């Protein structure tokens, strides 16, 4: 039996303080003012929530387990949070969450094993809980012990089920309306969690105000009195406010970020990167991109270093292959480098040339940054013998199902390439792969085809118990993805925000999925 109490919580908290400056004593008080482009659409009903919604409610919500700051080859990358510890018994096929005693929601109700079970059951009933094929049952064995029974061992179950839903107040939900439909609507604009801050006011598309939770379970935290987030989609307006001292934190575009750092502002960043890239249509059996030569021609045609420099102004980096440096499965020898002649030769072998180009469509979002990126991609592809038509889709058409979550028949053989996120960065890269590209993904990318060979590898990878074996499997699988040119990463930017110099924060040091806002503090200013 493996007990996942990876790093004692006290050590984690001390490490977090050191990241903010061990030589300085954290000051209490102040309202942290943040500028963000947009806010949540749903705050506390998980089946309706997306990644942006979860990130927006970091101050108020916590999970049973979450991502650690520590990053490296031989760490699973998670720690207990609202669970005091977690036991995973691969022989008995159980996951046992030992719920931390003395944790209360913002409404004063207590977090118990039954409340944790209810939260998980809501996600199951909503049809969005991953790995249900591995789920048998769930039982509360005492007030603070929740046991999940599996049908087979899966190394993704514990970190995913422990994090997938933050813990929300069951009592608040029951008091929010007479029917579940009324409660779901209430959950769009309300949240009652266990986090260091409580919701005071939310005005959609305008602002959200968090105030200090006086009964927070971590003694002496949070340091701040509150957090005020103002939604400003226009970067010109946002920068003017930031420079005028009307905000403390802003996720500035790359060019603005470099200029602000040169002016003396601080760039707070961490390890997570969202690589941008291309997914060819390997899903439909009649797609021309079933021919690996055309997929390889696309990758050889792209000068990733030039694209990264142009798009990131020095903050972005080319991504030769997945995973990135420092991640499980990384291999510096993997991937294809810019070679336009090789791209032309591959196209010629398929019967195409500059005089007889391969006509294709590249789908992308229609925002200005994305348009700049795909316009550069088009110029490189056109230069070797493709003839690219850009299909710039509004967010509703792009994300709402037209290009993602379609069956191969719905997608059709004439879909060619889609530009977007080439994966994420989760607690470790096996988890990233499983969630994005595997045969059991969370986001089913409709352009990406799958094979029986890949499915067999996925099953064995998720069944691996030892971390060394998990790393070996993700290395093997990523060789398969890269060798077959199924995903073509182009460039990525390490996540960052620009801060006023007096702000001390650990944002992004625990990846995209967690921000310990209780550790944030500000010097007198």
CATH number of the domain encompassing residue 170: 3.90.76.10
Query: Same structural domain for residues 405 and 292?
Result: yes
Strand ranges, E, within 366-502? 386-393, 417-421, 488-499
Does 192 reside within a domain?
Answer: no
Q: Are 287 and 397 in the same domain?
A: yes
Q: How confident is the model at residue 12 (pLDDT cuts 50, 70, 90)?
A: very low
* Boundary residue ending a domain (142, 176, 210): 176
Any domain includes 209: no
Q: How confident is the model at residue 352 (pLDDT cuts 50, 70, 90)?
A: very high
Confidence of residue 2 (pLDDT cuts 50, 70, 90): low
Residue 7: what pLDDT?
42
Residues with Cβ within 8 Å of residue 354, at least 6 apart in sequence: 344, 384, 385
- For residue 194, being part of any structural domain is answered with no
267-316 pLDDT, tens per residue?
999 988 889 999 999 999 999 999 999 999 999 999 999 999 999 999 99
Q: Is the pLDDT of residue 29 over 50?
A: yes
Q: What's the CATH number where 356 sits?
A: 3.10.105.10
| Residue whose token pair is 């409709």 | 446
Q: Are 111 and 99 in contact (CB under 8 A)?
A: yes
Average pLDDT (160-178) is 97
Please say which residue of 150, 176, 202 terminates a domain: 176
Instruction: Report CA dihedral (335, 340, 345, 349) to the nearest 10 degrees.
Output: 70
92: in domain = yes
Q: How confident is the model at residue 179 (pLDDT cuts 50, 70, 90)?
A: very high
Count of domains for the chain: 2
Among 5-9, 321-325, 507-511, the least confident range: 5-9
Task: Look at residue 1 in the predicted model and tell me its pLDDT.
Answer: 59
Query: Residue 20 above 70 pLDDT?
Result: no
Query: H or E segment at 190?
Result: none
Q: Is residue 77 part of a domain?
A: yes
User: Which of 160, 176, 192 marks a domain boundary?
Assistant: 176
In a domain, 362, yes or no: yes
pLDDT at 9 (0 to 100): 45
- Containing domain of residue 74, as a range? 2-25+42-176
Average pLDDT over residues 121-134: 95
Looking at residue 274, its pLDDT comes to 87
pLDDT tens digits for range 502-515:
999 999 999 889 99
Q: Give the predicted TM-score (pTM) of the model.
A: 0.90
Q: Tell me whether residue 64 is in a domain.
A: yes
Q: Are residues 279 and 169 in the same domain?
A: no
Domain annotation covers residue 231: no
């Amino acid at each position: 039996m493996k007990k996942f109490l990876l790093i004692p919580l006290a050590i984690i908290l001390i490490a977090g303080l050191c990241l903010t400056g061990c030589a300085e004593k954290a000051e209490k008080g102040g309202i942290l003012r943040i500028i963000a482009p947009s806010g949540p659409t749903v705050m506390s009903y998980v089946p309706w929530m997306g990644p942006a919604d979860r990130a927006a409610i970091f101050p108020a919500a916590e999970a049973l387990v979450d991502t650690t700051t520590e990053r490296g080859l031989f760490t699973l990358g998670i720690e207990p949070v609202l669970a005091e510890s977690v036991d995973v018994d691969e022989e008995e096929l159980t996951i046992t969450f030992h719920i931390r005693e003395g944790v209360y929601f913002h409404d004063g109700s207590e977090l118990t094993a039954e409340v944790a079970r209810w939260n998980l059951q809501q996600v199951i009933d909503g049809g969005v809980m991953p790995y249900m094929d591995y789920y048998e049952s769930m039982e509360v064995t005492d007030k603070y012990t929740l046991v999940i029974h599996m049908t087979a061992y899966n190394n993704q179950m514990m970190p995913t089920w422990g994090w997938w839903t933050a813990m929300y107040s069951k009592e608040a939900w029951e008091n929010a309306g007479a029917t579940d439909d009324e409660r779901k609507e209430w959950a769009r604009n309300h949240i009652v969690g266990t986090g260091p801050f409580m919701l005071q006011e939310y005005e959609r598309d305008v602002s959200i105000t968090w105030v200090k939770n006086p009964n927070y379970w971590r003694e002496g935290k949070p340091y701040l009195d509150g957090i005020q987030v103002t939604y400003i989609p226009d970067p010109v307006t946002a920068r003017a406010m930031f420079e005028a001292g009307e905000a403390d934190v802003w996720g500035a575009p790359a060019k603005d970020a470099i200029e602000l750092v040169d002016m003396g502002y601080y760039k707070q960043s961490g390890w997570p990167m969202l690589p941008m890239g291309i997914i060819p249509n390997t899903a439909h059996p009649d797609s021309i991109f079933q021919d690996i030569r055309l997929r390889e021609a696309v990758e050889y045609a792209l000068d990733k270093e030039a694209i990264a420099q142009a798009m990131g102004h020095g903050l972005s980096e080319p991504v030769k292959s997945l995973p990135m440096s420092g991640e499980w499965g990384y291999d510096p020898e993997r991937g294809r480098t810019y070679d336009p002649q090789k791209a032309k030769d591959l196209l010629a072998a398929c019967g195409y040339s500059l005089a007889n180009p391969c006509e294709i469509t590249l789908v992308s979002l229609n925002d200005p940054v994305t348009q700049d990126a795909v316009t550069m991609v088009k110029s490189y592809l056109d230069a070797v013998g493709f003839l690219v038509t850009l299909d710039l889709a509004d967010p509703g058409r792009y994300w709402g199902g037209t290009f993602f979550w379609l069956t191969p028949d719905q997608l059709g053989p004439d879909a060619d390439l889609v530009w977007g996120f080439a994966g994420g960065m989760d607690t470790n890269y096996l988890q990233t792969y499983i969630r994005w590209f595997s045969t059991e993904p969370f986001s089913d990318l409709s352009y990406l085809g799958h094979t029986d060979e890949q499915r067999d590898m996925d099953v064995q990878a998720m069944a691996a118990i030892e971390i060394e074996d998990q790393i070996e499997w993700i290395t093997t699988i990523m060789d398969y993805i890269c060798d077959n040119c199924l995903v073509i990463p182009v460039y990525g930017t390490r996540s960052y925000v620009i801060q006023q110099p007096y702000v001390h924060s650990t944002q992004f040091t625990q990846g995209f999925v967690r921000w310990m806002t209780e550790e944030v503090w500000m010097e007198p200013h």
